[in-house]
Amino acid sequence: MTRTLIPSITLLLILCPQVALAWLRPRYEDATVVERSELIVVAHLKEGSIQKVFHGNNGASWEYHATLVITKVLKGKCEKQEIPLVIHYGLSVFDQSEEKDSPQNGFRIIDTGGSERGHIPVKDAGADNLWFLRKRSGIFGREPGTGNYGIVDPEDLQPLELKPYFLCYLSDNPEAAVKEYIRKNPETAERGKRYLNHLEVQRILKMEDPEKRYDALLPFFLNRTTWDMKEEAGEGIATCGKAAGERLKDVFTDPTHHNLRPLIFHLWRDMGYRPIASFLIDLLIQNDRFWAGQDLKKGWWSDQSDPELTRRRQDMYGEIYGAVYTLRSFGDPKAKDALETTRKRWAAVDFENKQIVEECDAALRELAAK
């Protein structure tokens, strides 16, 4: 649900500037990697073929060119035993024999672009592994291309021992094949189960009765079941409209599911569930009473002298922001007093982030325009 995720990411970037400087690399599901790959091969890098090629931007970015030696083709067509390969910017090649104190030889390919940097789980790219290849272009390899095959994401290179697992997605009945594989290989159950859950959610989304659809989707939503970084169960719940709106309040108020509150704000907004407005107005009033008793000294957001209090403040801050932007989308004049009180409170707080004030201002302007 793209609309649902954007405000959460924006809040994260504003409140955590160190994350804003990192590369928020997408993560891709196994089935997606198999489907999008034009050529899947068992192959290895040819020794002595790796070259670091700088882009025309004063050396600020680069890619690696190499020769890939193909042992077996699993998907697509390739008559050649050796093909030129592009390792796009964000993935870096290291010769382990040249690393100080390294007990190993061979080539490691490391994700140096993502915020969670580290080795791709392949011990040696100079030995046979699974390569998921596409023809891409652009500095990051994010655009379609017509040149040489290459890899872009960490998921594009996988250990050879996972070959039977990935072949499941190329079978005539991938669902049955994955079920059987994880039955025999429980250590792979987590990644295979994600695919099976995705298929089940897709079946549920076809249910016509919104109440039955909500009931069937709720367990997946509570477990934060996602697919390709999308809250597909939440997206389905948003289509249930009134059947979901009021019942989500029970989830919201359940402390067990406290972590779902940001998503529930977005769902109420996206489904336009205006009957929840009075609940959100009360939430702002209750929150304001809490903040009235807080001594917010400079640096309160990251103060670790009382970690539990700091976490509670951060959670309640997020609730205020969620309630305000949801009420803004409703345009309910009954929210005017609560919005003005909230704005006054946060305009006086010593905090560099003014997003609550700005959202209140926008909501009040829109109410006045009516």
99 pLDDT band (50/70/90 cuts)? low
- Inside any domain, residue 3: no
Can you give the pLDDT at residue 118?
A: 66
- Inside any domain, residue 49: yes
- Inside any domain, residue 257: no
With 0-12 / 13-18 / 19 or more C-beta atoms within 10 angstroms meaning exposed / middle / buried, residue 165 is: buried
- Looking at 137, 168, 199, the residue that finishes a domain is 168
What pLDDT digit, counting tens, does each position of 3-25 carry?
Answer: 333 344 334 333 433 333 346 67
What pLDDT digit, counting tens, does each position of 130-169 carry?
Answer: 999 999 999 999 999 999 999 999 999 999 999 999 999 9
Can you give the pLDDT at residue 7?
A: 41
- Inside any domain, residue 7: no
Can you give the pLDDT at residue 113?
A: 80
Tokens 């025309």 sit at which residue?
A: 56
26 pLDDT band (50/70/90 cuts)? confident
- Inside any domain, residue 46: yes
- Inside any domain, residue 64: yes
Can you give the pLDDT at residue 95?
A: 85
Can you give the pLDDT at residue 249?
A: 96
Does 163 share its domain with 41? yes
Can you give the pLDDT at residue 117?
A: 58
What pLDDT digit, counting tens, does each position of 187-232 carry?
Answer: 889 889 999 999 999 999 999 999 999 999 999 999 998 998 899 9
What is the enclosing helix (H) or strand (E) of 135?
strand 129-137
3-state class of 14 per DSSP? Answer: helix
Contact 251, 260 (CB under 8 A): yes
Using alpha carbons, select from 50, 33, 36 the residue that is nearest to residue 84. Answer: 50
- Looking at 120, 144, 168, the residue that finishes a domain is 168
The answer to whether residue 119 scores a pLDDT higher than 80 is no
pTM above 0.85, yes or no: no
Cα separation of 142 and 155, whole Å? Answer: 14
Q: What total of structural domains would you count in the chain?
A: 2
- Looking at 168, 184, 212, the residue that finishes a domain is 168
Can you give the pLDDT at residue 114?
A: 67
Q: Which amino acid, one-letter code, is at 49?
A: S
181 pLDDT band (50/70/90 cuts)? very high
Mean pLDDT (the chain) is 90
- Inside any domain, residue 22: no
Residues of the chain with pLDDT > 90: what percent? Answer: 79
2 pLDDT band (50/70/90 cuts)? very low
Mean pLDDT of 85-114: 80
Q: Distance of CA 293 to CAs 155, 222, 290, 332, Å?
A: 49, 33, 6, 28
The answer to whether residue 49 scores a pLDDT higher than 50 is yes
The answer to whether residue 101 scores a pLDDT higher than 70 is no
Strands 129-137 and 143-151: antiparallel
- Inside any domain, residue 126: yes
| Structural domain for 326, as ranges | 273-370
